[in-house]
Structure 1
């Protein structure tokens, strides 16, 4: 009889975390009896093609409401565990992790750290987060740097701490990239820059837009396309307007198939203030886009330079040509939407974009390297590593 695994997630929005849950479900269902549970399905962007359990516990505003909501989530997770009787519950997202650990019974509990900022932006406070991770049977980080720092910050044992890179179906991505793009009329240019992600502070699109405002001074035919939706859309549109670059910037909103947008671009730029393992960047590499990424924690340096974890704390202060892409200095955490405030990180990022737009041979060189590197993050490798984590507990 197959062992039972419950995958517990926060919601059903567009995002790398949700995508990984769906992929994990499909890859291990032959080896385990898998049930997917979400804390809430309200305002879902996804409609999974498999059955899932919705606990109907969406986020609440206000401290008192949030506190009661935490207790409600824990109670509902415990009830569904008692009903399913899983051998292992693996959670994705800080809220899901907390509910998973707090409802722990005889089952093994696996929690994930999906982004570097989770190490310092505590769910409640440091001691509670430390208790949460130490109470779990395994803590799975999405990069070597996150695992390394999680072990130090939360005093996790090496045995408990694991690394699991995100999976990518490169063949599927390339196939979807060939679909007709009818949603927008693309500008007639060979200098189309693209970035994909939620319109939130974490993604650093304010820095990218400011950098691009410098780029078009030398490349007036260049265009920037940002694919995604989020709470900062109005502020970003205002910034674009104040910089006077509205004719050169396209905000497409969220897209179910971002790959065909990537396929029609000439350069992918990652401007995030923090990441875990940047899914959209690897997807862009799958379709052969050259990559310019800021040196944020974590992910870009591990992907583009293949540095070992012992060297992963190195931070770049300028532009650095790596084996699989170019790294720009780390974006500041100013979250500043003032058009008059152009920071050094914006200037360096602009220099990197200008370097790519001015050098077609450089773009071709890193396009080849991107495709080569993307092949190292396959479904097969992800499945093997995930099963190894589940099988040992």
Structure 2
């Protein structure tokens, strides 16, 4: 595999200015990808600026990366601000993440006389996101769909995280399928084994007393479906009193989860540690990883669980779960809404641990170096094409 050091040859001798756009840098998986991408490209001698439309930064920013926050509070203000900024100093290429930011980026580029490539990265299944989960009512959803169809076709490349998402984007945006490419997220660090060997700091996981921990992680939001997991765990704990449930993360639904656990009489067997710095230490010591989501793109936590070779129980939700788990070869897929089967699958994984050999090999393309090299190759192709077009005019 080409290393980051070897891939430096893909860049020009002069440091290329690249702008990566995102909503914020909170604890979500997409935000983690933004930071990993920025760090990887910076190490390849790109001049990286992260441009944010929100002020939430909960992640360490690697040295040498500039952070710029837009002042505008409305879509129109942000587009004009981008337009003004890029009129003075356009980037060599812009890479935008998440639907609304993608639209604003493409709109701003369209209004400029200057031309530079724009790559947009879609982190989920946009049709399901727009139809079921985006707030703002039907008028907002209709307008968002219209903008996706208007602007995504103007992108120089659209990146999807899995094949099913690529098809969804192509159909939703009415754009050629070959214009949507798949690049896996940069998720797995080169020193993953070192992270796995560290202690988690949680007594249930670091204990040698025979406790079986069911682990889950994600934003505490309705689409993550942790309420179903808590109800299913009630059944698991009834059958296996040696089990405990640990849910990592935070968000709007946290208090609802705590109340539900209390109502079910299992509050003493569920822990909510919040955000932690080393998820691999937790995964390497858990008995089962559970992913109950209603919708996902390609969930980074599922990639991380596969890399740790832990038994997996996941919902067969719309998105990348089925594709990533190879139709159940690398974990157990349960139909959405089937709480009893979800509980039974967890119990089965504890009592009859399935073989997890080959799980890490399945997610080899999610290694940070592998993913960053693919981004670098795309950047090289698009910038060279842009240079050729400029010379011909």
Category of TM-score, reference length = shorter chain: 0.7 to 0.9
For structure 1, list consecutive stretches of 5 or more residues without a partner in the other structure.
Answer: 59-67, 308-321, 332-344
Partner of 1:192: 213
| Distance in 2 between residues matched to 1:348 and 1:284, nearest whole Å | 21
The match for 2:39 among 10, 26, 32 is 26
Among 169, 178, 182, the residue aligned to 2:197: 178
Q: Which runs of 5+ in 2 are unaligned?
A: 1-13, 135-140, 383-393
Cα offset for 1:209?
0.8
Matched, 1:109 2:122: no
SS of the residue aligned with 1:129? helix
Q: How do 1:323-334 residues align onto structure 2 when only pairs under 5 Å count?
A: 323-331=329-337
Structure-2-length-normalised TM-score: 0.83
1:333-352 alignment runs, 5 A limit: 345-352=338-345
Q: Give, in angstroms, the shift of residue 291 of structure 1.
A: 1.2
Question: C-alpha offsets along residues 294-326 of structure 1, whole Å, 9 cap, x if unaligned?
Answer: 111211111111x6xxxxxxxxxxxxxx32211
TM-score (norm 1): 0.83
1:1-44: CA deviation from partner (whole Å, max 9, x where unpaired): 343321111101012111111222222232633222222233x2
Residue in structure 2 matched with residue 340 of structure 1 by the alignment: none
- CA separation of 1:123 and 1:385: change in aligned 2, threshold 3 A: farther
Q: Does 2:180 match 1:161? A: yes
Residue in 1 that maps onto 2:373: 384
Contact 1:143 1:163 (8 Å CA) reproduced: yes
Q: What is the alpha-carbon distance in structure 1 between the residues aligned to residue 365 and residue 104 of structure 2?
A: 33
1:356 to 335, 345, 349: 349
Preserved contact between residue 186 and residue 368 of structure 2 (Cα < 8 Å): yes
Q: CA deviation at 1:177?
A: 2.5
Does 1:12 find its partner at 2:25? yes
C-alpha contact 2:185 2:366 (8 A) present in aligned 1: yes
Distance in 1 between the 2:375 and 2:55 partners?
25
Distance in 2 (alpha carbons) for counterparts of 1:45 and 1:184: 26
1:168-220 residue CA offsets vs partner (Å, 9 max, x unmatched): 33432332222233355546434211011111112111111111111112111
Q: Contact between 1:57 and 1:69, CA under 8 Å: does it hold in 2?
A: no
- In the alignment, structure 1 residue 35 sits paired with structure 2 residue 44: no
What is the deviation of 1:91? Answer: 0.5
Secondary structure of 1:110's counterpart equals: strand
In the TM superposition, what is the alpha-carbon distance from 1:96 to its structure 2 partner?
1.6
Structure ranking higher in helix proportion:
2
Instruction: Give the whole-Å Cα distance in 1 for the aligned partners of 2:277 and 2:151.
Output: 34
3-state SS, counterpart of residue 8 of structure 1: strand
After TM superposition, list the pairs within 5 Å mapping 1:35-54 onto structure 2: 35-42=49-56, 44-50=57-63, 51-54=65-68
Question: In 2, are the aligned partners of 1:178 and 1:260 still within 8 Å (CA)?
Answer: yes
Aligned to 2:289, what secondary structure does the other structure show? strand
- Larger deviation: 3-12 or 219-228? 3-12
Match of 1:99 in 2: 104
Mapped partners of 2:220, 2:180: distance in 1: 31
8 Å Cα contact 2:130-2:145 kept in structure 1: no
- Alpha-carbon distance in 2 for matches of 1:172, 1:83: 41
Runs of 4+ more than 3 Å apart = 117-125, 183-190
Residues 204 and 213 in structure 2, CA contact (< 8 A), matched pair in contact too: no
Counterpart secondary structure, 2:76:
helix
Q: Which moved more, 1:158-167 or 1:207-216?
A: 158-167
Q: Alignment partner of 1:380: what SS? A: helix
| Contact 2:130–2:144 (8 Å) recurs in 1 | no
Per the TM alignment, residue 386 of structure 1 is displaced from its structure 2 partner at its CA by 1.6
**Count, aligned residues:** 351
Q: 1:123 to 1:32 in 2, by over 3 A?
A: farther
Deviation per residue, 1:90-131 (Å, 9 max, x gap): 101223212201211312211111011445444843212211
Q: Name the residue aligned to 1:312.
A: none
How far residue 83 of structure 1 moved from its aligned partner, in angstroms, is 3.9
